[in-house]
Structure 1
Amino acid sequence: MKKNKEIEVRSEETTRNINGQNYSVTELYIGKKKIGEVLHYGPKEFQSFAEDEDLGASKTMDTAIETIIRRWNLHEQ
């Protein structure tokens, strides 16, 4: 049976200007590789992206991050 490895995910906060409006963005990294971004649209609206793929909206930051990690895990393993 394959054992699960612990992987450290690092986040960096930044802002991005989209259509003239500034949004907070959390970028997620494993090592030096960026695995995705979470765009903060509002208090309960978070949009997840991995590379150029839109992974959908979430109501919490934790759910948005989990979506990105799950996608990375499926494609990298």
Structure 2
Amino acid sequence: MRKNKDTEIRFEETTKELKGKSYDVGELYLGKKKIGEILVYTPKDFQVFIGEDNCGSAKSMDDALELFIRQWNLQD
């Protein structure tokens, strides 16, 4: 019988400079590998990225995380 391994998923908050402006960014990691980002453009505009692909936008961080998980599951 095969044992299930625990997978660590981390969320780290940083800032990123784009076109001369600084934005808050949430980076998502699977183990040590960065798998995506959520950029906060405005308090009600969160852009979700998996790799370099823009997967859509959301109006809250919770909605953005849910969108990320749905898109990640489709790609995996």
What interval of TM-score do these two structures reach, taking the shorter chain for normalisation? 0.7 to 0.9
TM-score (norm: length of structure 2): 0.82
Task: Give structure 2 stretches of 5+ with no counterpart.
Answer: 1-5
Q: Does 1:25 align with 2:25?
A: yes
TM-score (norm: length of structure 1): 0.81
Aligned length: 72
Residue 41 of structure 2 corresponds to: 41
**Offset, 1:9:** 2.5
Contact 2:7 2:31 in 1 (8 A): no
Contact 1:35 1:68 in 2 (8 A): no
Residue 16 of structure 1 corresponds to: 16
Q: Does 1:71 align with 2:42?
A: no
**Offset, 1:72:** 1.4
Deviation beyond 2 Å, 4+ runs, structure 1: 6-9
